[in-house]
Amino acid sequence: MALFPIRTFGDPVLRTAAQPIDEISSAIERLVDDMFETMYEAPGVGLAAPQIGISKSIFVADIGEGPFAMINPEIVELSGEWEWEEGCLSVPERFWPITRPAFARARGLDLSGEAVEYSGDELLGRVLQHEIDHLNGMLLLERLSRRVKKQALRELRQEALGMPIT
């Protein structure tokens, strides 16, 4: 297994839609092992492949109920509303209250290539939405209100340039 550096805001791979996986090879199995190791080390509750620079449609997650991986996942159902202080390993040490649907159901493949579904409220629902956003090339910044997003981008860009935040 290997630890990967986590790509952060500004890296174009995070803004690129991930490619679907058409064969679950041993390389994909190794990738999943590495993603779990990187996620637990971070630590985080979810990690999408683009976050380690690999533009493939796969994420891993563990919200404390056991690890799982989804290949080529898509959201098939959303309902309700829930506000949560959401963060992202690719935008380190920042959290914003973000309202999203409380419940999410996602459909994809497991590591054997079998169809699999995960669904849940609150934290699980949030992780499914957040990770699948990553696979669509979207960061949580896109889920902020216009005003908050503008301010956040300004701070992140200044930080990237090593300038003081005013």
Residues with catalytic function: 131
**Residue 43 or residue 162: which is nearer to Zn ion going by CB?**
43
- Residue (8 or 24) nearer to Zn ion, CB: 8
53, 92 Cβ separation under 8 angstroms: no
Q: Is-contact 85 71, C-beta < 8 A?
A: no
Applying CB under 5 A, the site for Zn ion has a residue count of 1
Least Å distance between CB 114 and Zn ion?
Answer: 26
> Which residue of this chain has its Cβ atom nearest to Zn ion in the complex?
88
Residue 35 is a binding residue for Zn ion (CB under 5 A): no
Burial of 82 (0-12, 13-18, 19+ CB in 10 A): middle
Among 88, 109, 132, 135, binds Zn ion (CB under 5 A): 88
Tell me: does residue 141 bind Zn ion (CB under 5 A): no
* Piece in contact with Zn ion (CB under 5 A), picked from 30-38, 53-61, 67-75, 87-95: 87-95
Does position 128 interact with Zn ion (CB under 5 A)? The reply is no
For residue 60, state whether it binds Zn ion (rule: CB under 5 A).
no
Is residue 18 within 8 Å of 135, Cβ to Cβ? yes
CB 108 within 8 A of CB 71: yes
Residue 93: CB partners within 8 Å, gap ≥ 6?
87
